[in-house]
Amino acid sequence: MKDAGPQAIHLSDYAPPPWLVETVHLTFRLDPQSTRVLSRIRFRRNPAVPGDHDLWLDGEKLTLTRAAIDGQPLDLVPESTGLRVPAALLPADGFEWTAEVSIAPAENTTLMGLYMSKGMYCTQCEAEGFRKITYYPDRPDVMARFHVRIEGDLPVLLSNGNPAGSGDGWAEWEDPWPKPSYLFALVAGDLVAHSGSFTTASGRDVALNIWVRPGDETKCAYALDSLIRSMRWDEEVYGREYDLDVFNIVAVDDFNMGAMENKGLNIFNSRYVLASPETATDQDYENIERIIAHEYFHNWTGNRITCRDWFQLCLKEGLTVYRDQQFSGDMRSHAVKRIEDVLTLRTRQFREDGGPLAHNVRPESYVEINNFYTATVYEKGAEVIGMLRRLVGADAYDAALRLYFERHDGQACTIEDWIAVFEDATHRDLSQFKRWYTQAGTPRLRVSEDWDDGTLTLTFRQWVPPTPGQPLKEAMPIPVALGLLAPDGTEVQPTVVLELTDPEQSFRFEGLAERPVPSILRGFSAPVILERDQSVEERAFLLAHDTDPFNRWEAGRSLARDVLADMATNGSEPPQLFFDGLRSLLGDRTLDPAFVALALRLPSEEAIAEHLHGQGHTPDPAAIHTARRRLSLLRAQDLAADLGCRYHEMMVPGPYSPDAGPAGRRALRNAALAALSQLDGGARAAEQFYGADNMTEQLAALSALLEIGAGETELAAFHDRWKGDRLVMDKWFSLQAMLAPPDRAASVARTLAGHPAFDWKNPNRFRALIGGLAANAAGFHDPSGDCYRFVADWLLRLDPLNPQMAARMSTAFETWGRYDGGRQTLIRQELSRIEATEGLSRDLREMVMRMLG
């Protein structure tokens, strides 16, 4: 990495902590303006670090009222980032630190540390929020047992672990499992629970509670059901049992991220807990299931085994995402889930990997760790684990995971530890494989074919483009799953995994009767960009015949992408074969409707821009938008009869169920609706909008109307119906920003920002509008630069209050390098304006500096 400024922290500078913590006793006297936090902490010398050492305690924005060591008062002058106690004052074999600080949760707008959301106290400590609660060695390699007492005039007082007594205005909690401070949590408020229970495989009864604000308890059933299924799945698939008597989940409206895996007390953004058929879409339900599982799975991959330092973030996140993907696949459809995951990877991670923010799955330096909770750490981190499993095989993967849990339970670990477990379990040398953690950028894989007298030779050439700080790359190990199909569609070579290790490698398949069609990178076996000269006919053939569902989808996808790229760059017309391929897919009643719906989804404008850039073109957002709309219309015209048929056929009778089956039918039905709306002026969509008894159908209808420039009345009706529901209103904001016509995007966004319900301090609402606008590719990149200015203004406004959110949203600008000189200048002007702003947060400053290069 290029040095990102003077305060960058480097992996190579890691040093173990000289002082370890045995136990922590915390007492909270809650008050919005002045909460007092009393701490009693038992320190012991780290035997691995010889010599005398000062004690460094992190602390930020704390008012210290007193501190003592073994009862002896100390007169310390805090620095802005913490406190140093000189070694001379520290008894050699350990001591007890006591302190009292005061903090003001009601004034805390950062949503890190202890803050308030609508009268409720709530904490967020990952990555470095605990230091805003009290003085402490706030680093994940310091693990301790916590005992917490909460005093406050609120009905519900929660912390980690098991309950250890409660009375009027107080409660105590005891967490028997040593944990780093980032997993600490406290919640206090007027909350109600939706409860259940779970009995673990070895017979432990666990009380399950989902805590929400009164009125929301009717929207928790799906979250609870997902939790129970997650607990059972982790026992069955990974042999992991839950280890406390209670498991609490709290839903909070003001939360920067999705959710947080605090030990025994997960805290969730309410959008990933609350659901009812009328207010949540199928997608919302799927997200709830996935995120509930993700946080639960962290109990082992993250909490019992944690990270030594924040550079190792992917150790817990990549693995836990991989586990939640497996879970969702088991609960739903593996084929559909894989396609969805690859879509996410390509949309978010390939974009990141191909721009100025590219970084290793395990970064080597950072200024602000909050800026590294990225698609690369999470999604590419999960892909790396999927590759590892493919390379060693499912049984060896299971054996390696057993060894991982056995060897490292209770420890704070590194990627080296993780790789060593796989090497020891499989006796393979994984040193080259480690490059997936230490080299950034998406590898490109070029395939050429040679057919000669019954022998097919495939030659692969790989190339990893330079990324910031990494001009030269070494060859990656790439597992390529591959099969061969005969011209009649039969599979003559079932899936094999080729292991590429060199810059160029050839593989021969002999004794073939006829020239086969290769199906390459089945299941998307590696996170690479495959480059292949392939005829439209061959793609159509794979779309019709591939036995691998991912590659069947991919054939249609790459065809659509190329058709769109041609239309956008030279105004060509789509080939009839494209429509014919889709027609046979649409007519195939043996296919899962969810799969067909995905196959009908055209690549996003963003995806086409990225592809064109990769091909050496300068993408024109307006031309891409026009081409995509035109293809969508031509397709609707060509397939009108078939779409109409499917629209009726896919009606889901009876009461709403969020299960994969009915959700897939609705997905196909709504895809047909969006297409047909271009032909019928929105008549069907309006009918569906007013007749819908669930949010999936209602929102899809509204979206279909907005896409054809209609829907004013319905937008107003939707607003009136849902103005009291904050999660539904987020949809109202984001849909309008996302679907505004390009030349009106800025004015629509300005109007929305002036709406009384635009509560910009709420992260979900801010993301709905600003993120929605950034997702409106042609609108955001309107040549006037209006949207660039609008977004930059809002980032500057949010930054002093919530730097973490401002920094995350600034990634709207990360693709500037793809575009023409005019747009580049406009975006860089905005980035420079932000950079030049006095008092900018470390978070946003780092992002802007990296983007400017």
Nearest CB to Zn ion, comparing residues 323 and 781:
323
Q: Is 253 in the site for ligand PHE (CB under 6 A)?
A: no
Tokens 């691998």 -> residue: 548
Q: How are strands ordered across the β-sheet holding 259-260?
A: 192-199, 205-212, 246-252, 265-269, 259-260
Q: Where are the alpha helices (DSSP H) in 464-575?
A: 536-545, 549-570
Minimum distance between the CB of residue 259 and ligand PHE, rounded to whole angstroms? 6
Which range, of 136-144, 213-221, 252-260, 318-326, touches Zn ion by CB under 5 A?
318-326
Nearest CB to Zn ion, comparing residues 127 and 142:
127
Minimum distance between the CB of residue 377 and Zn ion, rounded to whole angstroms? 10
**Cβ atoms within 10 Å, residue 524:** 22
Minimum distance between the CB of residue 385 and ligand PHE, rounded to whole angstroms? 15
Q: Is 259 in the site for ligand PHE (CB under 6 A)?
A: yes
Nearest CB to ligand PHE, comparing residues 124 and 534:
124
Nearest CB to Zn ion, comparing residues 261 and 284:
261
Minimum distance between the CB of residue 411 and ligand PHE, rounded to whole angstroms? 18
Radius of gyration of the chain (CA): 27
**What letter represents residue 755's amino acid?**
H
Facing residues of 121 across strands? Answer: 116, 188
**What letter represents residue 91's amino acid?**
P
Q: Is 317 in the site for ligand PHE (CB under 6 A)?
A: yes
* Beta carbons of 811 and 847 less than 8 angstroms apart: yes
Residues of span 361-400 touching ligand PHE by CB under 6 A:
373
Residues 6+ apart with CB under 8 A from 211: 156, 158, 187, 191, 192, 193, 248, 249, 250, 251
Which range, of 254-262, 339-347, 460-468, 777-785, touches ligand PHE by CB under 6 A?
254-262
**Cβ atoms within 10 Å, residue 747:** 13
Q: Is 261 in the site for ligand PHE (CB under 6 A)?
A: yes
Q: Of ligand PHE, Zn ion, none, which one does residue 131 interact with (CB within 5 to 8 Å by kind)?
A: none
Which range, of 294-302, 680-688, 709-717, 734-742, touches ligand PHE by CB under 6 A?
294-302
* Beta carbons of 627 and 643 less than 8 angstroms apart: no
- Cα–Cα distance for residue pair 30/36, rounded to 1 Å: 7
Which range, of 153-161, 265-273, 315-323, 720-728, touches Zn ion by CB under 5 A?
315-323
Single residue of 58, 126, 128, 289 touching ligand PHE by CB under 6 A: 126
Size of site (CB under 5 A) for Zn ion: 2
Nearest to 565, CA basis, from 614, 522, 494, 528: 614
Q: Of Zn ion, ligand PHE, none, which one does residue 126 interact with (CB within 5 to 8 Å by kind)?
A: ligand PHE
Question: Does the N-terminal peptide bond of residue 740 adopt cis geometry, omega within 30 degrees of 0?
Answer: no
User: Token pair of 393, please?
Assistant: 């095989």
Calculated CA dihedral for residues 715, 717, 719, 720, nearest 10 degrees: 170
DSSP letter for 710, please. -
* Beta carbons of 405 and 301 less than 8 angstroms apart: no
Which range, of 290-298, 405-413, 472-480, 691-699, touches ligand PHE by CB under 6 A?
290-298
Residue nearest to ligand PHE (CB): 257
Nearest CB to ligand PHE, comparing residues 373 and 550:
373
Nearest CB to ligand PHE, comparing residues 60 and 317:
317
Q: Of Zn ion, ligand PHE, none, which one does residue 697 interact with (CB within 5 to 8 Å by kind)?
A: none
Q: Of Zn ion, ligand PHE, none, which one does residue 246 interact with (CB within 5 to 8 Å by kind)?
A: none
Minimum distance between the CB of residue 317 and Zn ion, rounded to whole angstroms? 5
Nearest CB to ligand PHE, comparing residues 151 and 261:
261
Minimum distance between the CB of residue 413 and ligand PHE, rounded to whole angstroms? 16
Minimum distance between the CB of residue 294 and ligand PHE, rounded to whole angstroms? 6
- Cα–Cα distance for residue pair 386/831, rounded to 1 Å: 37
Single residue of 154, 156, 206, 257 touching ligand PHE by CB under 6 A: 257
Nearest CB to ligand PHE, comparing residues 257 and 528:
257
User: Token pair of 769, please?
Assistant: 């509008």
Residues 6+ apart with CB under 8 A from 37: 26, 27, 28, 29, 100, 101, 102, 103, 133, 134
Single residue of 35, 117, 124, 347 touching ligand PHE by CB under 6 A: 124
Q: Is 310 in the site for ligand PHE (CB under 6 A)?
A: no
Single residue of 131, 240, 294, 539 touching ligand PHE by CB under 6 A: 294
User: Token pair of 789, please?
Assistant: 């200015």
- Cα–Cα distance for residue pair 829/788, rounded to 1 Å: 9
Facing residues of 207 across strands? Answer: 197, 246
Distance of CA 325 to CAs 315, 332, 378, 389, 790, Å?
16, 10, 12, 14, 36
Q: Answer left, alpha or beta for residue 768, where phi above 0 means left and psi between -120 and 50 means alpha.
A: alpha
Please identify which of the residues 126, 128, 295, 610 carries the catalytic annotation.
295
Which range, of 231-239, 319-327, 526-534, 841-849, touches Zn ion by CB under 5 A?
319-327
- Cα–Cα distance for residue pair 451/91, rounded to 1 Å: 77
Nearest CB to ligand PHE, comparing residues 303 and 670:
303
Which range, of 93-101, 155-163, 292-300, 413-421, touches ligand PHE by CB under 6 A?
292-300
Distance of CA 481 to CAs 107, 444, 496, 505, Å?
54, 16, 6, 15
Residues of span 516-535 touching ligand PHE by CB under 6 A:
none
Residues 6+ apart with CB under 8 A from 611: 561, 565, 603
Single residue of 260, 421, 594, 639 touching ligand PHE by CB under 6 A: 260
**Cβ atoms within 10 Å, residue 828:** 18
Minimum distance between the CB of residue 419 and ligand PHE, rounded to whole angstroms? 22
- Cα–Cα distance for residue pair 572/236, rounded to 1 Å: 53
Q: Is 674 in the site for ligand PHE (CB under 6 A)?
A: no
Facing residues of 413 across strands? Answer: 307
In degrees and rounded to multiples of 5, residue 112 shows phi and psi of -125, 145
Binding mask 500-529 for Zn ion (x = CB under 5 A): ------------------------------
DSSP letter for 220, please. -
Minimum distance between the CB of residue 267 and ligand PHE, rounded to whole angstroms? 8
SS3 64: strand
Binding mask 326-365 for ligand PHE (x = CB under 6 A): ----------------------------------------
Q: Of Zn ion, ligand PHE, none, which one does residue 362 interact with (CB within 5 to 8 Å by kind)?
A: none
Q: Where are the alpha helices (DSSP H) in 617-725?
A: 621-638, 640-649, 660-680, 683-691, 695-707, 712-722
Based on the residue annotation, tell me whether 295 is a catalytic residue of this protein: yes
Binding mask 583-602 for ligand PHE (x = CB under 6 A): --------------------
Q: Of ligand PHE, Zn ion, none, which one does residue 373 interact with (CB within 5 to 8 Å by kind)?
A: ligand PHE
Minimum distance between the CB of residue 314 and ligand PHE, rounded to whole angstroms? 11
Q: Residue numbers of the site for ligand PHE (CB under 6 A)?
A: 124, 126, 257, 259-261, 294-295, 298, 317, 373
Residues annotated catalytic, as ranges: 295
Q: Residue numbers of the site for Zn ion (CB under 5 A)?
A: 317, 320
